[in-house]
Amino acid sequence: MQCFAHFSLFCALKGLIMGKNIAIFASGSGTNAENIIRYFEKNASVRVRLVLSNRKDAYVLERACRLGVPYRAFPKSDWEAAESILDLLRKYQIDFIVLAGFLLRIPDALLHAYPDKIINIHPALLPKFGGKGMYGDRVHEAVVMAGESESGITIHYIDEHYDEGSTVFQAKCPVLPGDTPADVAKKVHALEYEWFPKIIERVVNSYKMIGDILHRLCP
C-alpha cells in the first residue's frame, strides 16, 4: 500500500513538472489563436496541441491547419453535452484551456474537469462592459458611447458566469476624444497580441513551479 501511495505521488508530481499542453477554443477569425500558436512554437514547456471551435466555417481552423495544429469543430449540442469535447481533450492530454474569442458558454462539465485551468481574454477593463452578449465591436462601441477615458484588456479565469471569474491581469490604453470604436479596437488588439501569450505562459509556468517545489519537498 505504501509503495502504491509513493507511485501515485510520483505520477502527480511528474504531471506538474512535465511540459503542459494547451487547447485553444475560438469562434472566429483566430488572430489571437495564431499569435498564441506562433509564440509557443519553439517552447519546450508549453505546447498548443489542439484548436477547437463551435463553427465549422471559422477561419481559425484554417489557421490551425496551416500551422500544423490539430483542429476540429463541434456543433452547439456537442458543446452543451461536453462528453465528446472532454474525450478529445483527454486524448490530447490537455492541461489548460485558453479561450480566444470563443462565444459559447463553457459547460459545467468542462469547468469541473479543468478547475482554475481555463482562462479568457475580454476586450475591456472588467467589471465594466462585460456579461452575456458583450464581445468584439459591441464592447468598443459601448466604451465610446459611455465616454470612457480608457479601455484595455482583462485576462481572467472562467467560472459559471460570463466575465465574472478571478482576474489574472489587466492592461490599459487611452481612449482619446474623437476616437471611434475602430480606433479603440486597434489599441485593444495591440494589447491582446502583446500580453495574452505572455500571461498564458506565466499562468502555466506557475503550476510547473508548484510541481518543482513539491518535487524538492517530496523527493
Domain 12-217 classification at class level: alpha beta
Q: Annotated catalytic sites, by residue?
A: 122
Render pLDDT for 27-58 as a digit per residue (tens, 0 to 9).
Answer: 999 999 999 999 999 898 899 999 999 999 99
Name the stretches of the chain with pLDDT < 50: 1-16, 210-218
Cα–Cα distance between 119 and 75 in angstroms, integer?
Answer: 22
126's grid cell: 472588467
The model carries a pTM of 0.86
Determine how many CB atoms are found less than 10 A away from the CB of residue 163.
20
* Confidence (pLDDT) at 44: 86
- Per-residue burial over 168-186, b = 16 or more CB atoms within 10 Å of its CB, e = otherwise: bbbbebebeeebebeebbe
| Of the candidates 74, 40, 87, 41, the residue with the CA atom closest to the CA atom of residue 202 | 40
185, 140 in Cβ contact below 8 A?
A: yes
| Residue 153, H or E segment | strand 150-157
| Of the candidates 29, 19, 9, 44, the residue with the CA atom closest to the CA atom of residue 208 | 19
Burial bucket for residue 67 (CB in 10 Å: 0-12, 13-18, 19+): middle
Residue 166 is classified by DSSP as P
